[in-house]
Amino acid sequence: MQTRSPVGAIAIVAMLLATGGIARAFDDAKYPDLNGAWERAVAGAPRFDTSKPRGLTQEAPLTAEFQALYKASLADQAAGGQGDHTVYKCLAWGMPAMMNGYAPLQIIVLPETTYMLVDDGNDSYRRIFTDGRGFPADADPAFTGYSVGKWIDTTGSGRYDTLEVETRNFNGPRVYDNTGLMLHPDNQSVIRERIYLDKTDANTLHDEITVEDHALTRPWTAMKSYKRDANPKRVWREDVCVENNPHVGIGGDTYMLSADGYLMPVKKGQKPPDLRYFDQAKK
């Protein structure tokens, strides 16, 4: 069977025991071997299109409105602010940013669901349903969206080699990376993926992602690649975003908590927050 995550191993085993027929019927030899930890293969800071540097050089096909918003976000960061970057507030990365490889990815293949686990900030995970279902009308929006997929055999070998996925039903705000390159706040994105092992290197995994979004003038496609760490005794780290997070959001502005526990500005000339509900010392 595929390697199971320490986080959900007990629940998954219990499910299989409760549905013994499914456990016996599942032939994992029909699926690609995705065991191990998958780490981003391209050096440098994580970004959506790994073939280009971060920032404006990503050449995202943004509408004029969102190009202007992105430039303003970058300018705010250059001045010490956070721009439209949202994860510093400990919001989830969501899709598609969670596939950037901020932390190693673990993939668990089961008969009706493929799980993707990422221990980064919010211990994100995806459920990709491969049981033939469609998109439900009443699912709650989520940062990861709702993913429906299908395993296919592209070579006629009798073994599945490619996972095709479509993801909808998003919550937000979401960004492509921590430069504040944002998706449209209407959260009507449609994200399609083709996930497969490299034909000449079984330790390389590819994820071709195409995003359709109202902040874009056309669909935006990027190829992500990951390298396998097959160590069976790998230690999976925990990453809790709120732990030691020095960012403080007050009234729409961001401040920092200093090492000695005091509120401090992040930009030169930044005004302090409104303290109307605190007793002020009279001068």
Rounded Cα–Cα distance for residues 213 and 219 (Å): 7
SS3 content of the chain, % helix, strand, coil (to 5): 15, 30, 55
Separation between Cα atoms, residue 283 and residue 175, nearest integer Å: 45
What percent of the chain is predicted at pLDDT more than 90?
59
Task: Give yes or no for residue 269 having a pLDDT over 90.
Answer: no
Closest CA to 208 of 119, 116, 96: 96
Q: Sign of the C-alpha dihedral, residues 178, 182, 187, 193?
A: negative
Q: How far lies 78's CA from each of 56, 82, 182, in Å? A: 13, 9, 17
Q: Quick one: which of 164, 262, 153, 258 has its CA closest to 206?
A: 164
**Beta carbons within 10 angstroms of residue 49's beta carbon:** 19
Compare 256 and 10 and report the one with higher pLDDT. 256
DSSP letter string, 48-77? SSTTS-SGGGG---B-HHHHHHHHHHHHHH
| pLDDT attached to residue 263 | 87
Q: Which helix (H) or strand (E) holds 9?
A: helix 9-18
Please say if the pLDDT value at position 282 is more than 90. no
Query: The tokens of 252 are what?
Result: 């729409």
* Cα(172)–Cα(142) distance, integer angstroms: 8
Q: Which two tokens stand for residue 29?
A: 């030899």
Place of tokens 């995806």: 126
Answer for the pair 178, 190: CB distance below 8 angstroms, yes or no: no
Q: Look up residue 170 and give its amino acid.
A: F
Q: Which residues contact 261 (CB under 8 A, 6 or more apart)?
A: none
How far is residue 191's CA from residue 142's CA, in Å, rounded to a whole number?
14
Cα–Cα distance measured from residue 67 to residue 64, given in angstroms and rounded to the nearest whole number: 5
Tens-digit pLDDT profile for residues 36-53: 999 999 999 999 999 999
- Reported as a single tens digit per residue, the pLDDT across 165-176 is 999 999 999 999
Look at residue 215 in the predicted model and tell me its pLDDT.
98
Please compute the mean of the pLDDT values over residues 117-138 and round it to a whole number: 88
The tens digit of pLDDT for each residue in 250-263 reads 877 788 788 888 88
The token pair that represents 3 in the structure block = 């390697």
pTM of the entire predicted model: 0.82
pLDDT at position 25: 55
Q: Is the pLDDT of residue 22 over 60?
A: no
Task: Decide: 115 and 8 in contact? Cβ < 8 Å.
Answer: yes
Predicted pLDDT of residue 19:
52
What span, in angstroms and rounded, lies between the C-alpha atoms of 273 and 212? 38
